[in-house]
Amino acid sequence: EAAPAPGTGGELCFGGQSLKALARTYGTPCWVMDGGVLRTRCQALAGAFKAALSTPLPDGRSAVCCHYAVKAQDSLACLAIAAQEGYGADIVSGGELARALKAGMKAEAVVFSGVGKSDSELADAIKAGIGQINVENEGELERIASLASAMGRVARVALRVNPDVAAQTHDKISTGRAEDKFGIAWEKVPALYKSVQQAEGHSALRMVGLAVHLGSQIMDPQPYRQGYQRLAQLVRQLHAEGLRVDEIDCGGGLGIPYQGEEAMAPQAWAHIVAETLGGLGARLHVEPGRWLTGPAGVLLASVVEIKHGARDFVIINAGMNDLLRPALYDAWHGILPTTLPAPGTPLHEADIVGPICESSDIFARNRPMPPFKRGDTVAILDAGAYGAVMSSTYNTRPLAPQILIDHGQVAPLRKQQSVEALLAAETMPGWLLPGQR
Ligand code: LLP
């Protein structure tokens, strides 16, 4: 449902629009998001969890809340679509808090995770009255307590548990092993939880529950099952000590089949959550990012040059500064020409590379491709998650524009950054101005 499809005249279409025509209008490189796909995926995932956890909590609240992981695709329009679909936000910075609130997310539906939250970010979150702050260590608890108390507020906190489970994903996006920097070692959780909850009323903290996030691009049910079982054990232990656990945040991480691999469906994830953590009387939270947004976006680029030699290189005008995933994680992304080759066109293996001065600036190696000529456009697929958000201006390449297709309309989301704007953010020390030497 998410992949671009052939349209009439052999042109690749996305969101019902010809990608080649969009490239002509908006230039390349250019990020394209399909609001329809994002909406459908928001509904599918929330629907799976609502079906698996259909019994409301004793107090009448719904048993599950979905939070859109802002870090995966942070444009205000995508956040607004998620909010319309009933999602809250999973944020990791004060900047993401500002975005979520501006896009219409309710503060109480915001959860804040992250290992290095600053005082000012925490203060903003407490002031806004967000749903919960997932705390990473004792020091952070102390800072939240003193900030909240100075404001005369009570902050809702949860402990982020490090369950010591390997997510069996890329090393750089695995977060739940003991050696990863995230969370509180699970053995230390009960004592800390107890001390904070028992001090309620005398402190500015309310201990509402536990949180876990195992990693990203998880394709296998096993790590989820292991991590959640460990969390359930902890919850039972806390209950046995007479403590309350109101909220359990199950994190995100559901993977997508970039290369046609077998992937878990949201139903399977929801089923594991319900099986391991349902029936504990807590409200469950999930924080998906990639699964919602990845297939909802493509990156358009144009062929700048073709170079034949020891290998065949197709040089495009998008680089690792735009889409970093292949360079950083050796990630595989589908790449399609926006004009589909006639049936029977022979394919040749080529390397699709960017213009950046680094050999890691490669989008595909030995990829069977139809012949290209200068000016042809290509679409890099599944680029909606961790694409535009991870762009940089390396090599003084301005940030590429973003557009949204929604309800049959095309709207610009972010203008192409100009080199002038990039330079205008810099100042030249007076003594270095030309003519001052
Ligand atoms: N919750 C927390 C606490 C997280 O750290 C993350 C992602 C998520 C939720 C959302 O995970 P998702 O459902 O999107 O897998 N840049 C990497 C991915 C980094 C993920 C970081 N944390 C990539 O391009 O593959």
SS3 at position 207: strand
- pTM, rounded to two decimals: 0.96
405 pLDDT higher than 80: yes
Q: How far is the CA of 240 from the centre of ligand 1 (A)?
A: 33
383 pLDDT higher than 70: yes
- At residue 160, φ and ψ (nearest 5 deg) are -85, 115
Residue 140 among known ligand-binding residues? no
pLDDT band at 7 (very low <50, low <70, confident <90, very high): low
Residue 289 among known ligand-binding residues? yes
Would the CB of 251 count as within 6 Å of ligand 1? yes
Dihedral angle sign, alpha carbons of residues 243, 246, 247, 248 = positive
Ligand 1 atom at minimal distance to the Cα of residue 254: 13
> Residues with Cβ < 8 Å from 365, sequence gap 6 or more?
351
CATH 2.40.37.10 fits 5-32+299-424, yes or no: yes
Would the CB of 217 count as within 6 Å of ligand 1? yes
Would the CB of 254 count as within 6 Å of ligand 1? yes
Q: Are 126 and 206 in contact (CB under 8 A)?
A: no
- Respond yes or no: is residue 42 known to be catalytic: no
Q: Where are the domains of the chain?
A: 5-32+299-424, 34-293
Residue 287 among known ligand-binding residues? yes
Q: How far is the CA of 74 from the centre of ligand 1 (A)?
A: 13
pLDDT of the residue at 303? 98
Question: What long-range pairs does 203-206 form, CB within 8 A, spacing at least 24?
Answer: 203/145, 203/149, 204/144, 204/145, 204/146, 204/148, 204/149, 204/153, 204/154, 204/155, 205/141, 205/144, 205/145, 205/148, 205/154, 205/155, 205/157, 206/154, 206/155, 206/156, 206/157
Would the CB of 70 count as within 6 Å of ligand 1? no
CA 272 to CA 225: how far, in whole Å? 6
Pocket test residue of 218, 254, 287 for ligand 1, highest count of atoms within 8 A of CB = 287
For domain 34-293, give the CATH superfamily. Alanine racemase (3.20.20.10)
With pLDDT > 90 as the criterion, what percentage of the chain qualifies? 89
pLDDT of the residue at 176? 75
Cα Rg of the chain, angstroms: 24
